[in-house]
């Protein structure tokens, strides 16, 4: 179990070094997109790969 100091340190690191983006999908209108994302082994890695490929294509 993490100590209060460890928990505070992790929270401080997350606050200072990360940025969160949230996206919502409509279950009926975007069911195909949801199904595709759920089929991925690692959704975060998949999305980051798509973004990096798009960035590279736009260079």
Residue 5 lies inside a defined structural domain of this protein: no
Residue 9 lies inside a defined structural domain of this protein: no
Residue 1 lies inside a defined structural domain of this protein: no
What's the number of domains the chain is made of? 1
Residue 12 lies inside a defined structural domain of this protein: no
pTM: 0.79
Residue 31 lies inside a defined structural domain of this protein: yes
Residue 59 lies inside a defined structural domain of this protein: yes
Cβ atoms 45, 38 nearer than 8 A: no
For residue 37, what pLDDT is reported?
A: 98
Average pLDDT over residues 4-20: 98
**Separation between Cα atoms, residue 24 and residue 41, nearest integer Å:** 19
Structural domain containing residue 37: 21-59
pLDDT in tens, 32-53: 999 999 999 999 999 999 999 9
Residue 55, CA distances (Å) to 4, 11, 31, 52 in order? 40, 30, 26, 5
């Amino acid at each position: 179990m993490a100590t209060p100091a460890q928990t505070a340190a992790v929270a401080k690191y997350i606050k200072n070094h990360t940025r969160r983006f949230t996206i919502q999908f409509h279950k009926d209108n975007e069911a195909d997109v949801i199904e595709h994302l759920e089929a991925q082994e690692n959704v975060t890695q998949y999305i980051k790969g798509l973004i990096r490929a798009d960035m590279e294509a736009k260079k």
